[in-house]
Structure 1
Amino acid sequence: MDLNVRSKMRDYVIQRLSLRGDHSPVEDDELLFTSGRLDSLDAVEIIMSLEMDYGIDFARINFDLTQLDSINAICDLVDAVNA
């Protein structure tokens, strides 16, 4: 796992949460969508970021929202697509 990817995704998730007024700490394995901390608009923003930053084409991969449900899951997705 590229630590830069993890750090960047953690910062991005924290930014999305802070826009919602949520300043609580975030663990890398915390379920963000399942818990309701993030919603579908956040998912779209994260997807757009991943497409722009890492060239992931979500139309071409077998995508499931659980792949964005935690920072760890997002990093795993980036690793799998770029492998």
Structure 2
Amino acid sequence: MTTNAGPEVRSQMRRYIVQRLLMKGDSAPLGDDDLLFTSGRLDSLDAVELIMSIETDHGINFSDIGFDLTRLDSISAIAALVGQPSAELA
């Protein structure tokens, strides 16, 4: 698993999330700290897809760390989650 989420992780997550938003017809600007789920821009199906992507691409097992939507509610939060050492995730 990645232990230091750099700009490439943010860029990857931004591309993925922008793609999901565009599929919903949402082309509004997206900042790194903009709320994704709390604001209603993304929904529960998007959360499942995002979790699957993070688990596959970054080796984070959400059943081990417990699900907390706030850890996915912005690009910054996702990058922080992906960048944490595995010992700190639980």
In which range does the TM-score fall when normalised by the shorter chain? over 0.9
Question: Aligned to 2:16, which of 12, 21, 31?
Answer: 12
Q: Give the TM-score taking structure 2 as reference length.
A: 0.87
Matched-pair contact (CA < 8 Å) for 1:56–1:81: no
User: TM-score normalized by structure 1?
Assistant: 0.93
In structure 1, what is the equivalent of residue 82 of structure 2?
A: 78
- Counterpart position of 2:64: 60
1:9 maps to a residue whose letter is M
The alignment status of 1:39 with 2:43, answered yes or no, reads yes
Contact 1:17-1:37 at 8 Å conserved across structures: yes
- Using the TM superposition, give the Cα deviation of residue 41 of structure 1 relative to its aligned residue in structure 2, in angstroms: 0.3
Corresponding residue of 1:69:
73
Q: Report 1 or 2 for greater relative contact order, CA contacts < 8 Å, sequence distance ≥ 6.
A: 2
1:59 offset after TM fit, Å? 0.7
- Asked if 1:29 is matched to 2:33, the reply is yes
CA offset at residue 63 of structure 1? 2.9
Residues 81 and 21 from structure 1, CA distance in 2 versus in 1: closer, same or farther, beyond 3 angstroms?
A: farther
Task: Give the letter aligned to residue 77 of structure 1.
Answer: L
How many residue pairs get aligned? The number is: 83
CA separation in 2, counterparts of 1:20 and 1:81?
33
